[in-house]
Amino acid sequence: MVFTGERKADTARRTESRTRDRKADERPLAGVRVAMLNFREPTQSTAGGAEEYAWQVSRFLLTQGASVVFVTGRQRGQLRTETLDGVDLRRMGNPYLVYLLVPLWLLFHRRRVDVVIDTMNGIPFFSPLVVRRRTPVISLVHHVHDRQFHAFLPAWLAWIGCFVEGEVARLVYRRCLTITVSESSRHDLEGKLRWLAPVAVVPNGCATPARAEPQAGDGDPALVYAGRLIGHKRIERVVDLAAELGDAWPGLRVHIVGRGPEHDALATRVADAGLDGRVELHGFLSEPDKNALLAAARLNVTASEFEGWGLTVIEAAALGVPTVAYDVAGLRDSVRDGVTGWLVREGESLAEVTGRALEELADPRRRAEVAAACRAWAREFTWARTGASMTGLILAKLQDCGGAPQ
């Protein structure tokens, strides 16, 4: 009987051990405290794809057992401290002061942080200079901002921005794993900035649409732009398509979805060109309403000069809608030319390529073929896959630095 009791106790211990190991495997980041540093957060009016990426990764890390504090800027009227979806938000500073206040916050809380994910939106937070020596810092860079600096800043200030993004950040982050979202961005980091740290590509994910919407039928075609209304997106070129393609497609409608500082200028452009009724500025739409409008469109169109990836391209593809975009870094990664969309190459105009795409999609069989290819392409990108890749990289860095906290 004693032997039987010992055997039962031993069996119970082994079962408990296996259960504990299984739970550890299910929550590999249990006890790990992550600080996500990002210029903005998704509830802010100027938020875009970079904020969505940081937020989705933060939410996934929670499922892996980590605790996450999202340290970011603050818009007027926002709470300084808030918890959303289990993520602790710490908001501080305007678009300029944020780059001073976030490193100061990290300096005073460095003993409560095990891993830092430092998003460099052109200007870094310099977190390697303020954290403990053994705290891993992962640098997250969506795209190189050199052209963006020169497009929106005086020449002397643009030079400073490029110097900080290049020479300064290259040295400060030389021992930090860098994550970017596309091969184009990796190429720019290694080529333009001569980046010294190792670079891993972890693409954006894509949320599954809340409901399956039908693909646009045989009626008058509609074009949609969805995203922030800011200068380098060149949304005026999408607006102008209503006039440029009006003779060939008299029933064409252009829908602009989003908010941002360019809204009033776009409204004036629509009125001055006599495009009322053919171009509609929707402003911000809820996710279901945006998806419904996008799914009913013939094409998603972006005229952006540069992107890290092209999150809205994949969101449109998930609904079976192809994209017309310029053949620029990031967008050439998210659009498969001739398969899930069309790229505007040097010597071509946006109107020319959009018109050619509309002609192809006028054939129902071709439209169905492209829609199926778009959905299949979008299924390759999920936030779970993005988060799992980030989790693996965090675990590897923690092991390099002596292991995760118990």
Q: What is the mean pLDDT of residues 62-67?
A: 97
Q: What is the mean pLDDT of residues 168-188?
A: 95
What's the pLDDT score for residue 146?
A: 78
Nearest CA-CA partner of 383 in 215, 181, 124: 181
pLDDT at 204 over 50: yes
- pLDDT digit string, tens, across residues 295-321: 999 999 999 987 888 889 999 999 999
What's the pLDDT score for residue 22?
A: 44
What's the pLDDT score for residue 406?
A: 47
Q: What is the mean pLDDT of residues 230-247?
A: 94
Strands 67-72 and 87-91: parallel
What's the pLDDT score for residue 214?
A: 53
> Average per-residue pLDDT in the chain?
90
Q: Rounded CA gap, 381 and 378, in Å? A: 6
pLDDT at 5 over 90: no
- pLDDT digit string, tens, across residues 29-39: 999 999 999 99
pTM recorded for the entire structure = 0.85
Lowest mean pLDDT among 41-55, 80-94, 314-328: 41-55
- In the structure, what pLDDT confidence band is assigned to residue 18 with cuts at 50, 70 and 90? very low
Report all structural domains of the chain as residue ranges with CATH numbers, in order of start: 29-205+383-400 (3.40.50.2000), 222-378 (3.40.50.2000)
Q: What is the mean pLDDT of residues 99-108?
A: 97
Q: Rounded CA gap, 318 and 280, in Å? A: 23
What's the pLDDT score for residue 404?
A: 55
Q: What is the mean pLDDT of residues 82-111?
A: 96
pLDDT at 1 over 50: no
